[in-house]
Amino acid sequence: SPFNCAFQAMENEVAAAFNMGQADEVMSSAFKLKITREDIHTLRNLCWVNDKIINFYLGLVVERSKKEGYPVVHAFSTFFFPKLYSGGYKAVARWTKTVDLFKKDMILVPIHSHMHWTLAVIDIREKIVKYFDSMGQKGDYICQILLKYLQEESSEKRNMKMDISEWSVHSMEPHEIPQQLNGSDCGVFVCKYADYVSRDRPMNFMQAHMPYFRKKMAWEIIHQVLL
C-alpha cells in the first residue's frame, strides 16, 4: 500500500540518519539552531536526548500552533529556567522583548535538573501552572517560581497586577500522565507532553511507544514539520 511504501521510506531515511557519518554534518537548521548528525544520534534508542533536540522540537510545536484551530503556544528554551532560577526576573526580562505572553494560550518551559528533563506548562486560559514529570516527582516549587515570574512580567510589561488568588499550581500525579520505565527517555517524554498538551489531546501514549517516537522525532526534525 502507499502508506507502507511511505512508512518504509521514512524508516530508511531515519536509519540512514542514525548511521555513522560526519558527526558535525548539519541535518536540519531552523530556530537559530543547527542540528548535527551527532545531535540526531541522541534520538537513538536509550540515548539521552540533548537540549538542542528539545529546543528544536519545541520550536516545531510553536510553529504548528500558528495554524488555525490550535492553542497559541510560546516555548522558552532550556536555558530560560536556569537563568530565571539563578538570576531572578531581571536576568530574563529581555527574553520576551518581542513576545506578549498574555496573548498566548499556553507557555511551555522545559526544565533540566539532576540529569532529568521535566516540563512546566503555564496555561493562561485555565490560570494554572502544571508540572509534568515522567518519574512522578512533584515540582510545585518550580510552578511557584514561574508564577512569580508571570506576576513580575505582568507588572513590567503591561503595568498590571496579576490577581494571584485566581491562579493555582498542580504537579501531575503519576496516574494522570504517562510515566517512564527506564532511565533514558525523560527528554522524549517532555517532547511528547509538549506535543499532546499543545493540541489539547489526552495523553494516551506510554513507555512502549518511545522507540517509535524517537524515530518519528528524528524524521520530523530533519523535515521541520510535525506529523
- With contact defined as beta carbons under 8 Å apart, do 44 and 18 qualify? yes
- State yes or no: is 5 an active-site residue: no
Annotated catalytic residue within 39, 186, 191, 195: 186
Grid coordinates standing for 113?
535538573
Q: Helical H runs in the chain?
A: 2-18, 37-40, 51-64, 80-92, 140-158, 186-197, 210-223
- State yes or no: is 191 an active-site residue: no
d(CA 213, CA 30): 21
Annotated catalytic residue within 133, 185, 191, 195: 133
**CA triplet 84, 73, 218: central angle to 5 degrees?**
90
- Three-state secondary structure call for residue 85: helix
Annotated catalytic residue within 47, 51, 112, 116: 116
- State yes or no: is 186 an active-site residue: yes
User: Which residues are tagged catalytic?
Assistant: 116, 133, 186
